[in-house]
Structure 1
Amino acid sequence: MYVAVKGGEQAIANAHALLASRGRGDQSQPAITPEQVREQLGVLVSRVMTEGSVYDPDLAARAISQAQGDALEAVTLMRTYRTTLPRFGTTIAIDTAGLPSERRVSATFKEIPGGQQLGATFDYTHRLLADPTEPLDLEAAVEEDEPMPRVTDLLGAGALLEPVTNHAEGEDPDPDPADLTREPTVFPMSRAERMQALARGDEGFLLGIGYSTLRGYGGTHPFVGEVRVGEVEVEFVPPELGYPVSIGRIEVTECQMVAQFVGSSEVPPMFTRGYGLAFGRSERKAMSMSLVDRSMRWEELGERKVAPANDEEFVVEHADAVAATGFVEHLKLPHYVDFQAELVLIRGIQEEIRERQAEATESEPELEEVSR
């Protein structure tokens, strides 16, 4: 650490003060409050909650403000805070089958029960910078609630889609929830463990890996069966009661990806599933998760391992941006001894090469005399 350098502690204190000053900016301008971040930067708040593994919009907004907009630093703050929280138990798995959707779209069928619901999306914007002072037209038509069965259930009813499963053959169909934050990562992982790792993974990395599967490095051409955004109830069974009680509602984004499967001697051709779930409005993250999830199921579907997205260890070990950031940024810390050792090694090798070249040059006249 830099504290080992003379004057290091004061230098670090000065760096903290300078960081705070730069982050505050022009003090004649009003400071951005965490409340403003929470209400107006909802997509960023959702990402920080998902990768930080803590559903708390207020804390995520505070972390973003403290990190000066650095998403990875904010995620690190959330994970650090998470380690201080007591654990009371495990909630019941949320039921997204009847998710009352604020947004619900499908790319597989034009007409679906309950209809398509565009909701809040950037999909149809012109990607042009807008005037922030221009008044907003906030009027929106309120649609009546209609049943919205999953599109994948419609396909499954006709045996066109594989049955719902969260485990590979031979795995416990209902294992205790994995916790990668408390247990070491051991490969191979169960699908449940992989999904937890993907949920905590960096959105940009997963997007890149998911994109690679569409470009031939994975061999899939999927369809978005359905993307839903909405609020679901979270239920918990207190030991003293013995029955579930609702402890609140959270906003989630769910993606069901549908991909081809050519079949085998035992299984007929059908569509297969990829799944993604993330906190808040996180469509890109949920879609990327579903693409990677489908790719990493190659073994249970009897496919070949041919691409980086198929490699569970490669994806999981490199998806965690907090770990990646820590390893990359530690290179800024003093490595004087290591560098000096390599410097001595390089100098020694160069000196040895120069000596050999000198010896070769001295022997050239003798070779000429012999040839004569």
Structure 2
Amino acid sequence: MYVAVKGGERAIDNAHDWLAEERRGPEDVAELGVAQIKTQLSLAVNRVMAEGSLFDPDLAALAIKQSRGDLIEAIFLIRAYRTTLPRFGYSAPVETGAMACDRRISATFKDVPGGQVLGPTFDYTHRLLDFALEAEGLDRAAEVEPEVHPVMPRVSQFLNKEGLIQDEPRPEVDETPGDLTREPLELPAARPLRLQALTRGDEGFVLSMAYSTQRGYAKNHPFVGELRIGTVPVEMEIPELGFAIEIGEVVLTECETVNQFTGSKTEPAQFTRGYGLVFGQTERKAISMALVDRALRWKELGEDDKGAPAQDEEFVLYHADNIQATGFLEHIKLPHYVDFQSELELVRKLRREADMRQQMREAAE
């Protein structure tokens, strides 16, 4: 017979203690501090903030430490904490065109006003292990002062001068987008909700969906019209004052892709756009998001449904959320003793019936 595991609360407490020991690691190694994670593992911090829907580098770093580097667990912690915070207002839409860029590149125009700003990136490094990083305590090379770049015009504006790229439809003034952090996703979803789901979605999943479009599933040929990373001010309307004031700044990655469009019965041949916007320096996610966003726009652009996964709104949006996926996946490791007993008894019954039928056939022969 199969019996329930024994141990109860004492076993769980012991598991927690063991987890804390594993998190701390050997005592002869210096403990990893939250400040170190925040400043030296900033890309991991950025991902946790983006998929956790909370811009707070300190909390994201704390969550990474608590989760022993399991980023999905850290995202789970951030989202859970986020639900405890009171909401006292909404910020005004940020103006990414006024971004103070640390990095700004275009794959469509070489000589763009403002120039190509490479910024801090792995794009031009050799993918070789740098064993010099093991040598702790050595003097660093002279630090490079970051350049201050003026506001740069959008690359898509150059195409717009000739009417070669589709104008983005402007929402009505009183049209407030839904909020996925407060209301469940309902289908069909408008583009603002789709973009929210993608920016909160698992980076690996969104990357895979984007890759599938490049390999021919929902084929659309993308160019990175512009990728920019930088700081934008956040403003909030204060009813008592009657105007908006700046309450802080956030670092964002924005990607706008330029995609081929052969035209339709009502639209001439032109380029269309895909869009991605993510917290922090998260360019792989932003590019992937833009490709998937463009694939999901097939219906509004009058294109054919090729039946590709990236074109399936329900498939993409319901499976992109790594917290939903983790909860559903990991619940199967929790006790299911009663369910398994019923399945076990059913299998035994079916085997007994099959044996009886076999014996009857043999007797008849």
- Shorter-chain TM-score bucket reads over 0.9
In the alignment, is the contact (CA less than 8 A) between 1:51 and 1:200 conserved in 2? yes
CA drift of 1:166 comes to 6.3
Shift of 1:6: 4.0
Between Structure 1 and Structure 2, whose CA radius of gyration is higher? 1
State the alpha-carbon separation in 2 of the partners of residues 230 and 185 from structure 1. Answer: 30
- Contact persistence 2:262–2:268 (CA under 8 A): yes
Change (3 A) 1:33 1:142: closer
Contact 2:91–2:237 at 8 Å: present in 1 too?
yes
SS at match of 1:51: helix
Amino acid at match of 1:68: R
Q: Aligned runs of 1:75-224 on 2, under 5 Å?
A: 75-130=75-130, 131-132=132-133, 133=135, 135-140=139-144, 143=147, 145-165=149-169, 172=172, 175-224=175-224
Indicate conservation of the 8 Å contact 2:225/2:258, yes or no: yes
In structure 2, C-alpha distance between the alignment counterparts of 1:58 and 1:144, rounded to whole Å: 25
The CA deviation at 1:99 is 1.4
CA distances 1:52-85 after superposition (whole Å, capped 9, x unpaired)? 0000001101111111111011101100110111
* SS in structure 1 at match of 2:273: strand
| Contact preservation (8 Å) 1:64, 1:71 | yes
Does residue 345 of structure 1 match 2:346?
yes
Task: Write the distance in 1 (CA, Å) between the matches of 2:142 and 2:329.
Answer: 44
Q: List aligned pairs for 1:1-372, cutoff 5 A.
A: 6-130=6-130, 131-132=132-133, 133=135, 135-140=139-144, 143=147, 145-165=149-169, 172=172, 175-305=175-305, 306-364=307-365
What amino acid is the match of 1:152?
S
Contact map agreement 2:100 2:148 (CA 8 A) in 1: no
Q: CA deviation at 1:208?
A: 0.5
1:174 is displaced (CA, Å) by: 5.4
Aligned to 2:250, the other structure's residue is in SS state strand
Q: Report the secondary structure of 1:284's partner residue.
A: helix
CA distance in 1 between counterparts of 2:170 and 2:76 reads 29
How many residues are matched? 357
Letter in 1 for 2:294: R
What is the alpha-carbon distance in structure 2 between the residues aligned to residue 10 and residue 73 of structure 1?
Answer: 24
Offset, 1:25? 0.7
Q: Determine if contact 1:166/1:191 at 8 Å carries over to the other structure.
A: no
RMSD, aligned CA: 1.6
- State whether residues 101 and 228 of structure 2, in contact with CA within 8 Å, keep that contact through their aligned partners in structure 1: yes
Letter in 1 for 2:163: A
Report the AA paired with residue 80 of structure 2: T
Identity across aligned pairs (percent)? 54
Deviates more, 1:123-132 or 1:67-76: 123-132
Cα distance, 1:317 vs. partner? Answer: 0.7
**Which stretches in structure 1 are left out of the alignment for 5+ residues?**
365-372
- The worse-fitting range, judged by mean Cα deviation, of 235-244 and 350-359 is 350-359
Q: Aligned letter for 1:148?
A: M
**What is the DSSP-based 3-state SS (H/G/I as helix, E as strand, rest coil) of the residue aligned with 1:250?**
strand
Judged with a 3 Å threshold, the aligned counterparts in structure 2 of structure 1 residues 325 and 267 are, in CA distance, closer, same or farther, namely: same
Gaps of 5+ in 2: none
Superposition deviation, residue 262 in structure 1 = 0.8
Q: Report Cα offsets for 1:101-137 as digits up to 9, x if no partner.
A: 1000000111111100000000011111112126543
Instruction: Using the TM superposition, give the Cα deviation of residue 140 of structure 1 relative to its aligned residue in structure 2, in angstroms.
Output: 3.5
Summarize the Cα distance change of 1:183–1:145 in structure 2 as closer, same or farther, 3 Å threshold.
closer
1:164: Cα distance to partner? 2.2
Tell me if the contact between 1:38 and 1:58 (Cα under 8 Å) persists in the aligned partners: yes
Change (3 A) 1:41 1:144: closer
Q: Tell me if structure 2 keeps the 8 A contact 1:166–1:192.
A: no
Query: 12-21 or 140-149, which moves further after superposition?
Result: 140-149
SS at structure 2 position matched to 1:244: strand
- Letter paired with 2:38: R
CA–CA separation in structure 2 for the residues paired with 1:78 and 1:146: 34
Sort the Cα spacing of 1:318 and 1:166 in 2 relative to 1 into closer, same or farther, 3 A.
farther
Distance 1:144 1:190, change over 3 A: closer
Quickly say closer, same or farther: Cα 1:65–1:232, change in 2 above 3 A: same
